[in-house]
Amino acid sequence: MTAYTDKSFTALAGASYINIAYREWGDAGNPNVAVCCHGLSRNRKDFDDLAADLAKDWRVFSVDMPGRGDSDWLDDKSQYGYPLYETVCASMIARMGADKVTWIGTSMGGILGMRLAGKRGSPIERLVLNDIGPFIPASGRRDNQANFGTDPRYPSEAKAIAYIKETRSAFGPFSDKDWDKFGRDSLRQLPDGQWTLHYDPGLASNAPITDTDMWDLWPAITQPTLTLWGVESKLLEAATVDRMAKTGPMTEVFAVPGVGHCPGLTRDDQIAAIRDFIAK
C-alpha cells in the first residue's frame, strides 16, 4: 500500500478546541488535491484503497469527523451536527493548502459535500457523492441507524468483526480481506482488553427520524458531480438518482449493482469510476 501519514490539527468547536485526525497521501507539492469524508459511524480509514490508488496523481486527505476514529470526542454531545462538521471540513480544506479541492464524500460525508459545495465562494471544484443525495427516506435512515450508539462490547476482535460484517452487510462488494479490514477499522480495544466501536456512542441522538429533504441545496451546486449509487440502497432511491441526474449539477451516475448502502470503494471498477471522473 502506498505510504500515508497520520496527522492532526486544531479546530474550533463552539467555544472550545478539538483535535481532528486526518490521513494524508501523495506528493506535498502536488496542486491536485482531494479530500475524503466518511459516513455517520465510519472513519477516515474507509478510503485507504481509493486514496492509495489516487495518490499516484493526487494529494489525498481523509479526515475523521469529531467523535469518530482518532478525532476528539465532544464533552457536550449536543454540539455534534452539521454546523460543527462544516467548520471542521473548512479547516481541513484550509489545511490542504490548495485554492480548489475535489470532495469525495460517503453518505454523511456526501451531505457535507453538498452543503459546502453550494455555499458562496466554495473552494470545492468537483464533487463525488457515494450513495447519497438530497433526499433520504425515513425508512432508510432508520435502517442505517439501527445499531447506532449501542456501545457494544466484544471479548475478541474476531467476534467484533463478525458483528460488523453482520450489521453492515449492505456495504461492498467486499472480499474476505476487505471485510477484515473494514471490521478492524471499525474497532478500538478498551484498557480491559474488550473490543468496542471506534466512535463516541454519544453521537446517537433521540431525535425522531424523519425524511431528510435537502433539495433546496441541489440547485446551488454548480460543480461537476459524480454519484456512486448502490442499486439496492435504502438511503438513495432510484427516483432521487433520476432527479439528481436531470437537475442542478446533473450528476453523472455510476451504478453498483447488488450493493446497498453503500459502495465500499475497494473494487477496481468503483475506484476507476472516481479516478476517471476527477481526472476530467
Interacting residues with another protein (CB under 8 A): 9-12, 15-19, 86-87, 90-95, 97, 99, 116, 119-123
Separation CA 255–CA 239 (nearest Å): 14
Nearer to another protein, 19 or 189 (CB): 19
Any residues with CB less than 8 A from the CB of 134 and at least 6 apart, and which? 114, 213, 214, 215, 217, 218, 240, 244
CB of 214 to another protein, least distance (A): 16
CB of 126 to another protein, least distance (A): 15
Nearer to another protein, 24 or 53 (CB): 24
Query: DSSP readout, 244-277?
Result: HHHSTT--EEEEETT--S-B-S-SHHHHHHHHHH
Whether 135 and 111 have beta carbons less than 8 Å apart is answered as no
Q: Among positive and negative, which fits the CA dihedral 182, 47, 170, 71?
A: positive
Nearer to another protein, 64 or 131 (CB): 64
Nearer to another protein, 17 or 219 (CB): 17
Nearer to another protein, 45 or 115 (CB): 115
Region of 211 please: left (phi>0), alpha (psi -120 to 50) or beta.
beta
> Which residue is listed with cell 425508512?
139
Separation CA 235–CA 253 (nearest Å): 15
CB of 7 to another protein, least distance (A): 9
CB of 211 to another protein, least distance (A): 26
Nearer to another protein, 31 or 97 (CB): 97
Instruction: Return the ∠ at Cα 248 (arms to 245 and 249), rounded to 5°.
Output: 70
With H, G, I as helix, E, B as strand and everything else as coil, classify residue 182.
helix
Element (H, E) at 16: strand 16-25
Separation CA 12–CA 180 (nearest Å): 35
CB of 82 to another protein, least distance (A): 12
Element (H, E) at 129: strand 124-130
Nearer to another protein, 57 or 125 (CB): 125
CB of 183 to another protein, least distance (A): 32
Query: DSSP readout, 74-122?
Result: PSSGGG-SHHHHHHHHHHHHHHTT-SSEEEEEETHHHHHHHHHHTSTT-
CB of 199 to another protein, least distance (A): 20
CB of 188 to another protein, least distance (A): 22
Nearer to another protein, 52 or 90 (CB): 90
